[in-house]
Amino acid sequence: MTAHMLHIDHLGHRYGVGPPVLADIQLTVPDGQLVTLVGPSGCGKSTLLRCVAGLTRPAEGRVTLDGEPVDRVPDRLGVVFQDYSRSLFPWLTVRDNVSLPLRRQGLGRARRHEEAALMLEQVGLAGTGKQHPWQLSGGMQQRVALARALAARPALLLMDEPFGALDAQTREDLEDLLLRLHREGGLTVLFVTHDIDESVYVGDRVVVLAPGPGHVRADLPVELPPVRDQIATRALPEFTELRAEVGRAVRPAGTATP
Amino acid sequence: MTGGHPATGSTERAAGAGAGAGAGAEAGAGAEAGAGVGVGAGAGVGAGAGAGAGVGAGVGAAPGPGSRRTRTRSLPRTLLLHLGVPVAAVAAWQVAAEAHGSVFFPPPARIVAHAYDLWFSGPARRLFLTDDAVANLLPSIGRVLAGFALAALAGIVLGLLLGRSRTAYALCDPVLQFARAVPPPALVPVSVVFFDLGTSMQLAAIVFSAVWPVLINTADGVRGVEPLRLDVAAVLRMPLAARIRLLYLPSALPRIFAGLRLSLALSLILMVFSELLPGTADGIGFQLVDAQTRSDLLTVWAVLLFLGVLGHLLNTLLLALERLVHTAP
């Protein structure tokens, strides 16, 4: 049996006495896979991610990571949020932000800075360590947030619409950066997005979540070459076919509002 | 009036305060002290009534730290903007006082000369301080600094504790609202009961009054920490000490300093007020009452001048400290 990094078992959730937001979610992510989770807003994507991160305790079902039940924030977890400017600490330098996960390991200052420099180099930000986040562009700030998540040497990387607030060019650069890190580092990633194109381009596998209450509507493998190119890959017939299939699953015929 | 310059006191206001330096002063300048964060002459003079109103009005307002102004103005223009009105006011005061010739309103030049003779004409090896300065100014400065430091420390620590716990905050909120609504000088008789007359009572009076603005502002600042950053701290499993040092304190810093500015003003007020009480043997407040009973108006005025300068100086130091620790935009 192959290692199943992340296992979500009959997970359901509701906030207080409100209507259920997630119902009977069943999902397994094997080691080293990049799974994109796509769906319209309000389908419970972010809630699912919070349950996996141990930030929200699900009302029903359970999440296991490497066989361990997730009942609090697990070890070796990286999370990248959409809102980079509010997720970074503006009063700390870039390298102090990146080395935040290392504080718990009791590493000395010099070692932390060394490690931070290494992570910044990985995300293409070598030499920016002494600046403050607000001195950088939006795309660079999200790279800092990614470097911070990687500094924890995560077994699982969670990304909550990480590129949603960026302009098209920057977003493509960051998609390619993520793909390279995933390919070279064997990262296991759960990537939440509402962008159908992005879910297909980035993913090894696309999971479509539908609202009311959130449930898995489709689970589609992406059969595209592992090394992808923004222009060539998007022009492939397999890409357009899959994109259409995901699109139909996200917006079934008859539900689209004119 | 923000951080009143020692010399900005217009003749009118100064006259009101001077007429009855002992008791009458409390009413005159109180309203002004309550209006803002002012630590200048107004706060010093309004030893009595300004305190309570000051806390109430100021706690809600959390002015951001030094707004970044573009420095495009030329130096002479800047100097004129900052010093024009004070210089003109002092000049007008000088001319008016000389023309009037009243013993109650000596011209500012004589007040400054008297202050110099009284306190700053001592030997060089004692930093030019006279015996009188050592006997009265230094104990007062010591009390205000020690009281303010204790209040700041206690306020920040307790504010952190309260701000982090929703339950604790909900439980303590009514008490806090009550404590800050009581005009601080009214608490002084209470500290007289608990402590012997003298420095310990005076310190207690300062701390009990000045602790509330820091405490309430720190707690509010901690409660206002960006929720996403709390998630980040949880995901990174930051230890509590790191969370306090790297997340809660920096987030709350603008509010903490807003509280500190109010507390500093209160510390000065309470320092003077506690020294006005019978049984006090030294201090600037003691000197004020003493001079008033001897009808030594020149000393009364010199004390007011000194309090204004001291308040302004301390406020400036606090602002400088705030700029120093503030790195985020």
A139-186 confidence digits (pLDDT tens): 999 999 999 999 988 989 999 999 988 999 999 999 999 999 999 888
* Domains of chain A: total: 2
Residue A236 lies in a domain: yes
For residue B49, what pLDDT band results from cuts at 50, 70 and 90? very low
- Look at residue B31 and tell me whether its pLDDT is greater than 80: no
* Residue B328 to residue A101, Cβ atoms within 8 A: no
For residue B327, what pLDDT band results from cuts at 50, 70 and 90? low
Asked if A70 reaches chain B (Cβ–Cβ under 8 Å), the answer is no
* Residue A91 to residue B328, Cβ atoms within 8 A: yes
Claim to verify: residue A37 and residue A134 sit in the same structural domain: no
CA dist., res. A225 & res. A235, Å (int): 13
Asked if A79 reaches chain B (Cβ–Cβ under 8 Å), the answer is yes
Residue B56's pLDDT is what?
36
Residue A81 lies in a domain: no
Residue A38 sits at φ, ψ, to 5 deg, of -120, 150
Q: What is the pLDDT of residues B211-229, one digit of tens each?
A: 999 999 999 999 999 999 9
Claim to verify: residue A184 and residue A238 sit in the same structural domain: yes
User: How many residues are there in chain A?
Assistant: 258
In the structure encoding, which two tokens stand for residue B75, read together?
């130096």
Distances in Å between the Cα of A45 and the Cα atoms of A57, A94, A225, A252 are 15, 29, 27, 18
Mean pLDDT of B306-313: 94
Mean pLDDT of B264-268: 94
Chain A contacts in chain B segment 205-244 (CB below 8 A): 226, 228-229, 231-232, 234-239, 242
Claim to verify: residue A184 and residue A106 sit in the same structural domain: no
Q: What is the pLDDT of residues A2-59, one digit of tens each?
A: 456 899 999 999 988 888 999 999 999 999 999 999 998 888 898 999 999 999 999 9
Q: What is the pLDDT of residues B60-105, one digit of tens each?
A: 333 444 444 555 668 888 888 888 898 999 999 899 988 888 878 8
* Residue B238 to residue A103, Cβ atoms within 8 A: yes
* Residue A81 to residue B237, Cβ atoms within 8 A: no
Chain A contacts in chain B segment 246-305 (CB below 8 A): 246-247, 250, 253
- Look at residue B311 and tell me whether its pLDDT is greater than 80: yes
Which of B22-31, B52-61, B67-76, B171-180 shows the highest mean pLDDT? B171-180
Residue A255's pLDDT is what?
55
Chain B contacts in chain A segment 149-178 (CB below 8 A): 152
Claim to verify: residue A100 and residue A128 sit in the same structural domain: yes
Locate the chain B residue with the closest alpha carbon to A74. B235
B257 CB neighbours in chain A (<8 A) are none
Residue A203 lies in a domain: yes
Residue A257 lies in a domain: no
* B187 against B174, higher pLDDT: B174
Claim to verify: residue A183 and residue A227 sit in the same structural domain: yes
Asked if A90 reaches chain B (Cβ–Cβ under 8 Å), the answer is yes
Mean pLDDT of A91-95: 94
Residue A86 lies in a domain: no
Contact partners, residue A248, CB within 8 Å, separation at least 6 = none
- Look at residue B34 and tell me whether its pLDDT is greater than 60: no
- Look at residue B18 and tell me whether its pLDDT is greater than 60: no
* Residue that terminates a domain, selected from A122, A146, A170: A146
Residue A96 lies in a domain: yes
Locate the chain B residue with the closest alpha carbon to A99. B236
CA dist., res. B296 & res. B301, Å (int): 9
* B15 against A76, higher pLDDT: A76
Claim to verify: residue A185 and residue A134 sit in the same structural domain: no
Claim to verify: residue A18 and residue A54 sit in the same structural domain: yes
- Cβ atoms of B263 and B217 within 8 Å: the answer is no
- Look at residue B277 and tell me whether its pLDDT is greater than 50: yes
- Look at residue B7 and tell me whether its pLDDT is greater than 50: no
Claim to verify: residue A121 and residue A159 sit in the same structural domain: no
CA dist., res. A71 & res. A58, Å (int): 9
Claim to verify: residue A171 and residue A205 sit in the same structural domain: yes
- Look at residue A87 and tell me whether its pLDDT is greater than 70: yes
CATH number at residue A226: 3.40.50.300
- Look at residue A88 and tell me whether its pLDDT is greater than 60: yes
Residue B19's pLDDT is what?
35
Claim to verify: residue A176 and residue A246 sit in the same structural domain: yes
Locate the chain B residue with the closest alpha carbon to A98. B236
The closest of A188, A174, A162, A144 to A45, measured between CA atoms, is A162
* Residue B236 to residue A100, Cβ atoms within 8 A: yes
Residue B73's pLDDT is what?
67
Residue A84 lies in a domain: no
Residue B267's pLDDT is what?
95
Give the domain range for residue A30.
4-76+155-250
Mean pLDDT for all residues in chain A: 90
Lowest mean pLDDT among A134-138, B23-27, B187-191: B23-27
- Count of CB atoms within 10 A of residue B73's CB? 12
Residue A101 lies in a domain: yes
- Look at residue A110 and tell me whether its pLDDT is greater than 80: yes
Claim to verify: residue A167 and residue A228 sit in the same structural domain: yes
- Give me the residue from A55, A78, A148 closest to B234, CB to CB: A55
* Residue A53 to residue B226, Cβ atoms within 8 A: no
Residue B64's pLDDT is what?
40
Asked if A104 reaches chain B (Cβ–Cβ under 8 Å), the answer is yes
* Residue A83 to residue B234, Cβ atoms within 8 A: no
What distance, in Å, lies between the first and last C-alpha atoms of chain B?
Answer: 26
- Look at residue B3 and tell me whether its pLDDT is greater than 50: no
Claim to verify: residue A61 and residue A139 sit in the same structural domain: no
For residue B45, what pLDDT band results from cuts at 50, 70 and 90? very low
Asked if A83 reaches chain B (Cβ–Cβ under 8 Å), the answer is yes
Asked if A132 reaches chain B (Cβ–Cβ under 8 Å), the answer is yes
Chain B nearest CA to A74, separation (Å) = 8
